[in-house]
Amino acid sequence: MRLAELSERSGVSTATIKYYLRERLLPAGHRITATQSEYDEGHLRRLRLIRALIQVGRMPVSTAREVLAAVEDDSLDQLSRLGVAVEALPHGPEPDESSPSTAVARRTAAELLRQCGWHFNLEIADSSRAFGMLVAAIAALHRLGYTCDTAHLLPYAQQAAQLAVVDLDLVEEFATPAEQVEAAVALTVLYEPVLLSLRRLAEAEESNKRYGSGS
């Protein structure tokens, strides 16, 4: 397909596509003349991923480029490729190492992983941005006096484990390893607002049952 058709099918303006090409977010098309290129379904799929990262995930172009580089790194096995790509996504604040609550939170998080039976080497986990985000969140709860021991956190972790199965089942519906990595990244970005919305709606429903009319 030519650039105009790629724009029409993707819903992305030609000017924006050219910008993505210049910024190396989108691979170059297949050159057919000195001034024209052809694009394929892979370019269309990549555009959807770029839109998920930048427009929905509000990701800076530099960060999006880092994520896409991980997606394209076929020197890695599938597990490493998925891990590197998702790890490159934006995460929450880093733990405040000056706070006494952080040391408590790190022990709580490590014990939580152990009780879940998740096979994390603690040294590796401690370098993970997702683990750091968990530590920072638990530290904030601890600092403000809210319940955040392992027993209270365990049901959340168990539900997260079930969601991970659903996530990867969905990812495996895509045909090729490259498509699966792209899908894992896009769906991580796109489904997090879905999960947040569903949690709030479910809490409203449960609150109504407990404290309202229940209707």
pLDDT at 124: 61
End of a domain among 37, 57, 87?
87
With respect to residue 94, please indicate whether it lies within any of the assigned structural domains: no
pLDDT at 102: 94
With respect to residue 30, please indicate whether it lies within any of the assigned structural domains: yes
pLDDT at 163: 93
* Strand 37-38, strand 30-31: pairing: antiparallel
Tally Cβ neighbours within 10 Å of residue 202. Answer: 10
End of a domain among 42, 64, 87?
87
pLDDT at 156: 95
pLDDT at 122: 61
| Host domain of residue 110 | 100-211
pLDDT at 123: 61
Distance, CA of 117 to CA of 96 (rounded, Å): 27
Which residues, at least 6 apart from 142, have a Cβ–Cβ distance to it below 8 Å?
101, 104, 105, 108, 148
pLDDT at 120: 67
Assess contact for 138 and 153: CB atoms under 8 A: yes
Distance, CA of 135 to CA of 128 (rounded, Å): 11
pLDDT at 125: 64
Q: Is the dihedral of CA 140, 145, 146, 148 positive or negative?
A: positive
Angle subtended at Cα 113 by Cα 108 and Cα 117, rounded to the nearest 5 degrees: 145
End of a domain among 87, 115, 135?
87
Number of domains in the chain: 2
Q: How high is the mean pLDDT in each 10-residue block of the chain (215 residues)?
A: 90 92 90 86 89 84 85 82 79 86 93 87 70 93 92 95 93 87 86 92 94 76
Looking at the structure, tell me whether residues 55 and 150 fall in a common domain: no
Nearest CA-CA partner of 18 in 32, 35, 182, 181: 35
Distance, CA of 164 to CA of 195 (rounded, Å): 12
Looking at the structure, tell me whether residues 122 and 169 fall in a common domain: yes
